[in-house]
Structure 1
């Protein structure tokens, strides 16, 4: 039915309802159907026309006219109130797994009303992934923080601050050269599966994707090395390896990395000042050969016995 036909039906229902207040939808339908046939106005079915008449009658009972338009489904919007906000804060604020869909029935409101009021005083935040910390880690973190507060000045902008001389080094975790496919986002719009397959519908996945690991440092004076981090696989290519041997980094090779690449790059950044070396508490960094090499190269470092593991929220480089 076109717009003119819908307008005619609305006006006719309004006139009939004023003339015959007791008429209901089916009685009005019996008068409107012959009128539409005379005017040669097509309609989809008697049932759809009946539903339209019921809608117009409901609108007439509320507004005493059929010309006004009802917004949406006709459900009156729930007004925001202080009591509703208090209930939402008590049920949702800073609590996990409290979606508007679950909370709305508890506050006697629609999902959209609950969501609209939630956005007035809060924002949704995804949970972040971090390293799991045990009670032992917490004790070591507290001990290390107290040591830093006692022996180092807290203001890093002070000229004599040790923070300006700190060089924080770290091995990155291995990451794949071939990224994981997100099938939800990587799609092809086609009329059929066959057409999609012809235009790149397959994604080749390596069963054992090669991975790489990086090493580098960060300091007040810039990155170390300044050009790019050290690719460990390329560094290990400089050694003689037996056939089919797995190339791995150990204490001796890490000591070579510090002496041949790390130390020269670091001293270029600290020509007139004495740097303070720091690496994490991994077992490879605590082997005797590594400790001896670092003591021979650097006059000062953060003591191994007070340094805390799981300190990535302080040493930002450990999040790489």
Structure 2
């Protein structure tokens, strides 16, 4: 039970008890009821004057419920308005508070963004941010199923299949770029000082490279295991070694360099495979 509900229940119990005392003792006045309450085991936490006023007002009204509050009556958040807001905003895309408010005004409703927000909260609605997932359409899923069926047909599904050739298939791929520069949070990256002039430039300025340097790796997997056996291949370092001495420009991985790269990686993989087999024999 919340604190607000507890206070409301306590107020209702006090009023009910006071009216019950008056019913059982019709001759009692507000002073007599106050004396009885103050001498009880659990006296109210009020001074004498406040307690007398509260009892006198309660006996005059003769009801345990609050009076109807004065103020301007609701003209916007009616039942039809609440149902319309619920229909326009619940589980709808691009249904922000402002867009829904503008749409309702176009339909003749006298409303505002604050009215829509209060109505949505009173209806028990909550704002949930969209979760980022991979963009995969129905056509992509169908293509994957067709590709899987073709591979099963051409390469077999089990080792006992006549078309089993998965031991001759190698899947290779390049990794993403691993940034070598350290990242910093601009909200936390600061220096405490009395004035900006006393901070040395070496720690005052936060330098940032426009094109951050990084590394790209290459690796593969086959029926025999990983390629290369000892870990992924550093493509960035290999590509730097292919640059001619007189050229200052960067070297990019074209078809010729890629063919050379595959041959060298294949030779490295064969050397590791032969060493691995020799160690097993020994």
Q: Return the TM-score normalized by structure 1.
A: 0.42
Structure with higher Rg: it is: 2
Using CA pairs below 8 Å that are at least 6 residues apart, which structure has the higher relative contact order? 1
